[in-house]
Amino acid sequence: MRSALKLAATTALVTLSAGAALAQDAACDWKPERAVTYIVPWGAGGGTDANSRMLASMLEAKWGTPFNVVNRTGGNGVTGHSAIVNADPDGYTIGAVTVEIDTMHWIGLTDITYKDVTFLGMVDIVPASVLVKADSEFQDLQSLLDHARENPGDLTASGTSLGGIWHLALAGMLNAEGLPPDAIRWIPSQGAAPALQELIAGGVDVATPALSEGKGLIESGDVRALAYMHDSANSALPDVPLTSETLDSGWTLAAFITAGGPAGMDENIACSYSKAMEEIFASDEWAEFKKNRGADVVQMPRDEIEPFVAKTDEDLGAVIKAVGLAAQ
């Protein structure tokens, strides 16, 4: 399997027309009359939480009804995602649906997939990176991969749990470059922060979290970024080499955060949400928020979200099978 994963954000996607046609029939004039619950499957303080809280507060200001953010963590995302898809599709329970919707079912943690979700907006796209400690012998990605090719199993890497998105970023990249997916051994961690601590302490050789998660340590000079797994430069760290240019396979990988509700949501509710979110994402306030986080604003029309998620699902499924993590 040498086909590159193309999870490009706004450009490379073919628009499917089914969703778009539906959207035109509805009036898109629904608005909540009582408090809405906004479920976040990940902990307070993380990137998903920050984006969701900002979005929820702007929806609240727009519609004048409370949007209560509830962190339903646990089970590597299963708990929160289940709470979202099992809710009544009445528009009063929505939440953050993250890239794990495309991995959990392949690994066998749950049966729910992106087909159980009504997607309302694309909140963020978060490409992975390849980081080494500042005093590492590896100056570029190619020398790292060469070393791994000649000494499989010698190097270790971390960034998240086993089978988590940043593990798939590394394993998928090795696989795409024709290396065994475990040529660099994965050491599980409870998220990016402890993984970066291991990297600094010399406990692992490589970390592959989101570039934004390593930004602080890159700027302080403790960590060197060898690659950004994306096809356009990061505006905050424009000098990090892009894997789409440096690798033969053109491999890229990004996690995503969408806003979504349960499947079967009334089209008028869904398009009202997506209209409101599109306005929010185009606002100066949102741009300012994103800039402060060192991230770029993502603007993806609603009808492109589900095909994007479906394509990612297919690609990640292939990686999970290649790595040997797929449920039997």
Partner 1 sequence: MDIAALLAAVFDPQILLTILIATLYGSFVGAMPGLTATMAVALLVPFTYFMDPVQAVAAIVATTTTAIFAGDISGALLRMPGTPASAAYVEDSYALARGGEARTTLFVSLFSACIGGVVGVLILATATPLLAAIASNFSSDEAFWLATLGLSCAVLVGGPSVPRNFASLFIGLAIATVGIDVAVGHPRFTFGLQDLYGGISFIPAMIGLFAISELLREAGTRPDLSLGKLVIEPLGTAIRNATRRMRANWRGIGRSSVGGTLIGALPGAGADIAAWIAYAVARRVSKTPEKFGTGHYEGIVNAGAANNAGVAGAWTPALVFGIPGDSVTAIAIGVMLMKGLTPGPNIFESDGLLIQTLFGAFLLANIVMLFTGGLAVAVASWILRVPRAILMPSVLLLSMVGAFAIDGSVTSLWITLVLGVLGFAMVRADIPIAPAVLGVVLGEVVEDNFMVSMMKAQGDLTGFFSRTPAAVLGTITLIVWAALLWRSGRELVRAFRTDDTARNANP
- Binding to partner 1 by CB under 8 A, coded x per residue (else -) over 40-79, reads ---xxxx--x--------------------xxxxxxx-xx
Token couple for 211? 């570039």
**Shortest Å distance, C-beta 187 to partner 1:** 5
3-state secondary structure 45-109: CCHHHHHHHHHHHHHHHHHCCCEEEEECCCHHHHHHHHHHHCCCCCCCEEEEEEHHHHCHHHHCC
Q: Contacts by 139-147 with C-beta closer than 8 Å and gap 24+? A: 139/224, 139/226, 140/226, 140/241, 140/246, 141/226, 141/227, 141/241, 141/243, 141/246, 141/247, 142/246, 144/206, 144/226, 145/174, 145/177, 145/179
Q: Which is nearer to partner 1, 45 or 178 (CB)?
A: 45
Q: At 29, phi and psi to the nearest 5?
A: -120, 20
CB of 256 to partner 1, least distance (A): 21
CB of 132 to partner 1, least distance (A): 15
Q: How many CA atoms lie within 13 A of 124 on its CB side?
A: 28
Identify the residue among 136, 142, 156, 268 touching partner 1 (CB under 8 A): 156
Binding mask 177-196 for partner 1 (x = CB under 8 A): --------x-xxxx--x---
Tell me the C-alpha distance between 222 and 237, whole Å: 15
Q: Which residue type sits at 292? A: N
- Which residues, in sequence order, are CB contacts of 223 under 8 Å at separation 6+? 131, 132, 133, 134, 196, 199, 200, 207, 214, 217
Distance in Å, CB of 193 to partner 1, minimum: 6
Least Å distance, CB 195 to partner 1, is 10
Site membership for partner 1, residue 1 (CB under 8 A): no
Q: Is 163 in the site for partner 1 (CB under 8 A)?
A: yes
If one asks whether residue 162 binds partner 1 (CB under 8 A), the answer comes out as yes
Binding mask 238-277 for partner 1 (x = CB under 8 A): ----------------------------------------
Determine, following the binding rule CB under 8 A, whether residue 198 of this chain makes contact with partner 1. Answer: yes
The token duo for 61 is: 């200001």
Comparing CB distances to partner 1, the nearer of 197 and 246 is 197
Minimum CB distance to partner 1, residue 28 (Å): 30
Contact between 35 and partner 1 by CB under 8 A: the answer reads no
Strand-pairing partners, residue 156, are 185
- Residue 210 is which amino acid? A
Q: Site for partner 1 (CB under 8 A): how many residues?
A: 36
Q: What's the min distance (Å) between Cβ of 106 and partner 1? A: 12
For partner 1, the binding residue among 65, 197, 249, 283 (CB under 8 A) is 197
Q: How far apart are CA 278 and CA 68, in angstroms?
A: 20
In whole angstroms, the minimum distance from the beta carbon of 319 to partner 1 comes to: 16
Given the complex with partner 1, which of 157 and 277 has the nearer CB atom? 157
DSSP string computed for 265-305: --HHHHHHHHHHHHHHHTSHHHHHHHHHTT-------HHHH
Query: Per CB under 8 A, which region of 17-25, 26-34, 122-130, 200-208 contacts partner 1?
Result: 200-208
Give the binding site for partner 1 (CB under 8 A): 43-46, 49, 70-76, 78-79, 82, 107, 109, 156, 158, 161-163, 185, 187-190, 193, 197-198, 200-204, 216
